[in-house]
Amino acid sequence: MAVSSFVIAVDGPAASGKGTIATRLGAMFGLPVLDTGLLYRAVGVLTERAGADLDDPDAAGAIAGMLSAEQLDDPALRTRAAGELASRVAIHHKVREALLEFQHVFAAQPDGAVLDGRDIGTVICPEAPAKLYVTATPEVRAERRWKQLKGQGEDVAYADVLADIRKRDARDGGRDAAPMVRAPDAELLDTTEMTIEQAADAARRIVEAARARWKASQEAD
C-alpha cells in the first residue's frame, strides 16, 4: 500500500548534520520540518525546571504528555545541557509514547513533511517513502558541536564535547526504547568529508530518487 503523503525521514547521531540537512530538504521540497530532538530536549528541560527526577519515567512521561509546539521555541533547548537532559529522558518508554502522537500528527500533513531524529525511519514513520541515515565520525561531529556551542557563547572544551558525543551515542544506541539504528531501507549519508553544501546536494539527490519511486507507486495504485 502506497503512503498517502511524502514523508522524508532523516535519522542519525548528534551533530551529524541531519538537522541542517532536514531544514535544507524542507526548503527544497516545500515541506514543513520537525526537529524531533527538540521534543526530547523540551521534556528534559521542563522536567528539570519542575524539580522532578529525570530518571523517573512517570514524572518525565507526564511532562511529555503536556508538551505544546509553542514550547519548542525556547532558546534553552539549543544548549549543551539540554542535549544531555534529552538523552536522559529519551530512554523512558512513557516519554516516547507520549511524544509519538505529536510526531504522527506532524508527519500526516497532506503534502508531506520532513522529520529528523533518531528513530523516524524505524519507529515514527517506518513507511516513509524517503529515508536517510546521516552520520560522521565522532571526532568530526564533536568539532562541529564544539564550534556551534562556542558560537552561542558557551565556554566548553573540545575534549568534553567529544566525551559527550560518545556518551550520547552509547546511550542512544543501547537504550531499550527505540534505539538509534539505521533502518534497513535508509540511504547512508556519511558527511565526514563533506561541506554542508555537498551533504545537502547528496541528500537532495537521494530524496529526488525516492520521490520518483513514490510517485510511480502512487500512479500504480
CATH of the domain at 214: 3.40.50.300
Q: What b-and-e string marks burial along 186-218, b requiring 16 or more CB atoms within 10 Å of the CB?
A: bbebbbeebeeeebbebbeebbeebbeebeeee
Angle 14-87-116 (CA atoms, 0-180°, nearest 5)? 45
- Domain range for residue 141? 7-220
For the chain, give the DSSP string. ---SS-EEEEE-STTSSHHHHHHHHHHHHT--EEETHHHHHHHHHHHHHTT--TT-HHHHHHHHHT--GGGGG-GGGGSHHHHHHHHHHTT-HHHHHHHHHHHHHHHT-TT-EEEEESSIIIII-TT-SEEEEEE--HHHHHHHHHHHHHHTT----HHHHHHHHHHHHHHHHH-SSS-----TTPEEEE-TT--HHHHHHHHHHHHHHHHHHHHHHHHH-
pLDDT tens-digit series, residues 116-162? 998 999 999 999 999 999 999 999 999 999 999 999 898 999 999 99
Query: For residue 1, is it within any domain?
Result: no
- Amino acid 80: pLDDT: 83
- Amino acid 75: pLDDT: 92
d(CA 203, CA 132): 8
Query: For residue 127, is it within any domain?
Result: yes
Instruction: Report the number of distinct structural domains present in the chain.
Output: 1
Q: Which residue has the higher pLDDT, 194 or 168?
A: 194
**8 A C-beta contact, residue 125 and residue 7:** yes
pTM over 0.75: yes
What is the rounded average pLDDT of the residues 63-83? 92
Percent of the chain with pLDDT over 70: 97
